[in-house]
């Protein structure tokens, strides 16, 4: 299989189902940002972290590929002429979202209570986590904007929302693991 097709040389790309759109289409921006997020999560997974977290991140990366495929399929192309779904893969589901919630609860149980906002940083691995969280929020904002134009599965929107929360809790857990100080944001008084 050749990597280059030359079909995008004029600034368009194909969605699942064959329709072509400009490469800056909101749908492309949405799943392109999910791809960027997946790369940052890979960067976190490549750090010296525990195996449970590494496995969870691998599962999340797999689900982000699914989520990207869901975003790359316009609503009018989801069902084939024979009545079957175009994407013959398990979709993002309530179980996908519940997995993130269970993982957050597990990590949160071992963390000190949060009393202030926390400034990102303290250790490179923690910073990668915060960058991924911010990219996840951007993916969510773009997907919500797309949803205002054409329907996006609610499970996609919920997953991205929950994943950004997961990445915040993971950053706190990793801070604890590497013994980095969490710097509280305390606004200055006027």
C-alpha span between 141 and 143 (Å, rounded) = 5
Task: Count Cβ atoms within 10 A of the Cβ of residue 146 and give its class: 0-12 exposed, 13-18 middle, 19 or more buried.
Answer: buried
Q: What's the full length of the chain, in residues?
A: 190
User: Which stretches of the chain are assigned E, i.e. beta strand?
Assistant: 12-14, 20-22, 117-119, 183-185
The per-residue pLDDT string of the chain (190 residues; one tens digit each, 9 = 90 and over) reads 778 777 677 787 766 666 777 578 899 999 999 999 999 999 999 999 999 999 999 999 999 999 999 999 887 766 667 777 767 778 899 999 999 999 999 999 999 888 888 889 999 999 999 999 999 999 999 999 999 999 999 999 999 999 999 999 999 999 999 999 888 888 888 8
C-alpha span between 82 and 177 (Å, rounded) = 52
Output the pLDDT for position 74: 81
C-alpha span between 159 and 28 (Å, rounded) = 18
Output the pLDDT for position 38: 98
Domain boundaries of the chain, sorted by first residue: 19-76+88-185
Q: Which fold has domain 19-76+88-185?
A: Hypothetical Protein Ta1238; Chain: A; (1.20.1200)
Output the pLDDT for position 3: 80
- Determine the 3-state secondary structure of 85 from DSSP: strand
Output the pLDDT for position 82: 76
- Which single residue is written with the structure tokens 């299989």? 1
Output the pLDDT for position 116: 86
Q: Pick from 98, 120, 119, 101: which is nearest to 165 by CA?
A: 101
Distance of CA 158 to the CA centre of its chain: 11
């Amino acid at each position: 299989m050749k990597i280059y097709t030359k079909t995008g040389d004029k600034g368009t790309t194909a969605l699942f189902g064959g329709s072509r759109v400009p490469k800056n289409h909101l749908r492309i921006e949405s799943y392109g940002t999910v791809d960027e997020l997946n790369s940052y999560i890979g960067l976190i997974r490549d750090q010296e972290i525990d195996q449970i977290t590494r496995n969870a991140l691998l599962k999340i990366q797999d689900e982000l590929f699914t989520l990207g495929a869901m975003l790359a399929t316009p609503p009018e192309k989801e069902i084939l002429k024979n009545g079957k779904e175009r994407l013959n893969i398990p979709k993002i589901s309530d179980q996908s979202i519940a997995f993130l919630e269970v993982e957050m609860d597990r990590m949160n149980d071992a963390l000190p209570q949060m009393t202030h906002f926390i400034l990102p940083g303290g250790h490179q691995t923690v910073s990668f986590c915060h960058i991924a969280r911010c990219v996840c929020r951007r993916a969510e904002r773009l997907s919500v904007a797309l949803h205002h134009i054409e329907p996006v599965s609610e499970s996609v929107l919920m997953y991205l929302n929950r994943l950004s929360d997961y990445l915040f809790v993971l950053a706190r857990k990793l801070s604890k693991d590497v013994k980095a100080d969490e710097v509280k944001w305390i606004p200055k008084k006027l």
